[in-house]
């Protein structure tokens, strides 16, 4: 009975969104995107698209999304939004981070990306434009991937903080007490594999088109670069996502090396009480702000 009710609710929600979508104006970017997608299919093999296309999407998205945070350090106005204002970025740290990133991207992640084609072939994942899911389905799938990845990240990340193994693996990521966007994937190769596994679980569950893989890559990078940015910028559209953790939440983890273990959402830390120190910290901040106003 409960299962039938859930199915009916989901069907109703789907029909409601589909009905609203019918009234929305045509997306002016849809036709150029369709033309580009079909051009790609006509001129490249599935292996080239799945492998080199995925690498290009990852690298371009990663470094383009890092640009705003990188530029902020040169804008005096933005410094009031920097969370740890006493720890500015340095060229030395950023260069070290960049070199490690290149190693991880091309010697750890690229071999994994090379398996994308075989994954799509094994599960008969389509590439054709006609079978591409609508925007709201794609959005819902990315959200589902984020929920799954967040659960995996919380428990495995918390395990990596165990005193017996922390110094061997996760300590590398905590080398920078004040994080910056490019540091999001700065990690020990084993951590890249362990925590990165959570990214693929949602793909296995939801993937019904090649475009989801790329959409989820962009969404995940957008989130992890944002929470590592070191800046709590107002009017951040990601704050509209329900239960979104954000930069201040994760920055506290880097400051204190404990608590706030989830990657995207706040519910696992709330359930297990691992956000208690963060809550106390926020309350203390509020009191200090009130005293300053008086």
User: Across the 294 residues of the chain, what is the mean pLDDT of every consecutive 10-residue run?
Assistant: 50 60 73 96 97 97 96 94 92 94 94 95 96 92 96 98 95 94 95 95 95 97 97 93 95 93 97 94 78 65
Residue 17: what pLDDT? 64
Residue 237: what pLDDT? 94
Query: Is residue 224 within 8 Å of 263, Cβ to Cβ?
Result: yes
Residue 285: what pLDDT? 76
Residue 23: what pLDDT? 64
Residue 148: what pLDDT? 97
Residue 12: what pLDDT? 57
* pTM assigned to the model: 0.91
Residue 286: what pLDDT? 78
Residue 15: what pLDDT? 61
Query: Is residue 65 within 8 Å of 181, Cβ to Cβ?
Result: yes
Q: Phi-psi region for residue 182, left (φ > 0), alpha (ψ -120 to 50) or beta?
A: alpha
Geometric angle at alpha carbon 148, from 147 and 150, rounded to 5°: 65
Distance (Å, whole) CA 211 – CA 208: 9
């Amino acid at each position: 009975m409960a299962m039938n009710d859930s199915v009916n609710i989901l069907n109703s929600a789907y029909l409601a969104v589909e009905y609203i979508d019918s009234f929305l104006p045509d997306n002016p970017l849809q036709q150029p995107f369709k033309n580009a997608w079909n051009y790609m299919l006509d001129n490249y093999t599935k292996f080239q698209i799945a492998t080199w296309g995925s690498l290009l999407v990852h690298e371009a998205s990663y470094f383009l999304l890092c640009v705003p945070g990188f530029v902020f350090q040169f804008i005096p106005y933005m410094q009031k939004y920097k969370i740890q204002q006493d720890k500015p970025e340095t060229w030395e740290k950023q260069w070290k981070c960049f070199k490690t990133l290149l190693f991880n991207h091309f010697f750890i992640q690229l071999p994994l990306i090379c398996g994308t084609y075989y994954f799509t072939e094994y599960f008969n994942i389509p590439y054709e434009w006609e079978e591409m899911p609508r925007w709201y389905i794609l959005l819902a799938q990315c959200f589902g991937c984020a929920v799954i990845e967040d659960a995996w990240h919380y428990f495995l990340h918390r395990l990596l903080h165990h005193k017996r193994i922390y110094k061997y693996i996760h300590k590398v990521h905590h080398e920078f007490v004040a994080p910056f966007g490019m540091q999001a994937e700065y990690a020990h190769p084993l951590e890249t594999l362990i925590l990165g596994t959570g990214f693929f679980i949602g793909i296995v569950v939801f993937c019904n088109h090649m475009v989801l893989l790329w959409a989820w890559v962009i969404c995940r990078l957008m989130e992890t670069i944002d929470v590592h940015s070191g800046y709590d910028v107002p009017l951040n559209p990601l704050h509209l996502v329900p239960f979104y953790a954000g930069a201040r939440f994760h920055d506290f983890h880097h400051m204190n090396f404990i608590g706030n273990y989830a990657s995207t959402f706040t519910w696992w830390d709330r359930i297990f009480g691992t956000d208690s120190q963060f809550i106390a910290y926020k309350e203390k901040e509020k009191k200090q702000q009130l005293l300053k106003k008086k």
